């Protein structure tokens, strides 16, 4: 009777080990996937904030593209977004007439800003576009 209990306990431990071995990869995929998703959300939010700050500076009377680009880049630098590009339409916002539309596009590649899978997914770029009217 005593040996039967030992065998039963050993088989339970073996079953628990097999269950752990099956569940561990699934749990790791969920954890790493969640971290990647939150990183992507953070990058998109940083780009959105940068575009907003840049366009607000660009539409002010007397402002120029260099000052607006510096403002947008300051937000990206503070949030540690790498390899970003900032583009205005028209390229010289000072020449835009009052009441005309000014557009900013802020982009950052996925590979440079991903904590884990950036080397796997290299051809993705997140782009945010904001439009405001020149003051």
In tens, the pLDDT along 107-129 reads 999 888 888 766 666 678 999 99
**Domain count of the chain?**
1
Average pLDDT over residues 47-74: 95
**The pLDDT of residue 7 is above 60:** no
Range of the domain at 118: 2-133
Buried-exposed string 46-80: b where 16+ CB fall within 10 A, e elsewhere: bbbbbbbbbbbbbbeeebebebbbebbbebbeebe
Give the pTM.
0.81
């Amino acid at each position: 009777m005593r040996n039967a209990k030992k065998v039963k306990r050993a088989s339970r431990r073996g079953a628990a080990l097999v269950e752990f071995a099956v569940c561990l990869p699934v749990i790791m995929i969920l954890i790493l996937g969640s971290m990647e998703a939150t990183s992507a959300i953070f990058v998109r939010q940083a780009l959105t904030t940068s575009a907003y700050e840049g366009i607000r500076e660009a539409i002010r009377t007397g402002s120029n593209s260099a000052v607006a680009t510096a403002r947008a880049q300051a937000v990206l630098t503070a949030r540690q977004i790498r390899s970003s590009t900032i583009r205005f339409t028209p390229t010289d916002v000072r020449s835009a007439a009052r009441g005309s539309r000014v557009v900013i596009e802020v982009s950052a590649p996925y590979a440079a800003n991903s904590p884990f899978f950036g080397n796997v997914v290299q051809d993705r770029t997140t782009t945010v576009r904001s439009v405001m009217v020149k003051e």
